[in-house]
A = this chain, B = another copy of it.
């Protein structure tokens, strides 16, 4: 007897954890399994993926649920046509070059689709979250770095091989700090968690006398290396001058970058999520206010700028949507 529910397995592969979930046709996570990402990456990470998918598959079988396929969102650059990871991030070693879709398919005997984590996070929001029903949407995930996704005409923007939508690597200051991508002054160097920490560390080194007593005491006890994004927000809330400057710079960088992207895509919605937003939710209304006063009124004024609905689950839900909303992916 087949179930009324048609489900997919969504897998979210990050540098710290691998999560798999059984997701139904309305975007609900019916069951899930999370394991730490093996530090060795590569084959060990692959086997961890196969293991969690197998557990979810067994769960579905026990509950008589039909699985249409396995969707995978992964860190790193993804060749979405070939279903392969093209290049890994430094935090997920030996991950580049793996023909991930083909290898998972061989293990689990289900259709498999993979995409990068930025695209998948936006797809979750367009399917069942804060951008539901929007045909033209931009997504930013503000975490350690900045992930991006674009949906245009109802479909994920992939570009030539799937490398499109690196929205964190839009330059907003050509004279700014060097970015890991090779360019300078990208949104990511100012508004990602790592970027804010680095910018505050620079200020603390250059102008220690401008720091608050609390910030100075922390640095003197724990060292500059132990500054975190959470501390940037906490110190800024307490009025620390250098933390306020750092946060203001991040807000400005985001506003100029997002305005540029609205000029380029003419979307109706921009969804902003990730750990930075979770830790400092006011960044989203602040961004909306700035963007609506910048750029071409005909393009920026009607755009809704909103927080993501799905937090930590956006990867799993969006990955499942690669299967359940396939017209949005390859339509």
Contact = CB atoms under 8 A, between A and B. Distances in A.
Interface stretch (A3-11, A16-24, A262-270): A262-270
A182 B297 contact: yes
A160 B136 contact: yes
A158 interface: yes
Contact of A173 (B157, B174, B183): B174
A165 B262 CA distance: 9
Nearest to A135: B160
A141 B159 CA distance: 21
Interface in A254-300: 256-257, 259-261, 263-268, 293-299
A299 B163 contact: yes
A67 interface: no
Contact of A157 (B77, B152, B261): B152
B252 A174 contact: yes
B295 A183 contact: yes
Contact of A163 (B161, B169, B253, B266): B266
Interface in A159-178: 159-167, 169-175
A181 interface: yes
Interface string A133-158: 00110000000000010101100011
B164 A265 contact: yes
A86 interface: yes
A184 interface: yes
B298 A259 contact: no
Contact of A182 (B173, B183, B185, B294): B294
Contact of A77 (B158, B294, B295, B298): B298
A287 to B, nearest CB: 14
A171 B260 contact: yes
A87 interface: yes
Interface string A26-58: 000000000000000000000000000000000
A310 to B, nearest CB: 23
Contact of A264 (B136, B164, B256): B164
A79 B60 CA distance: 48
B163 A298 contact: yes
A166 B263 CA distance: 5
B266 A171 contact: no
Given A182-B296, A297-B182, A264 B171 contact: no
Contact of A86 (B165, B167, B298): B298
Contacts of A295: 169, 181-183
B257 A160 contact: no
Contact of A170 (B148, B185, B263): B263
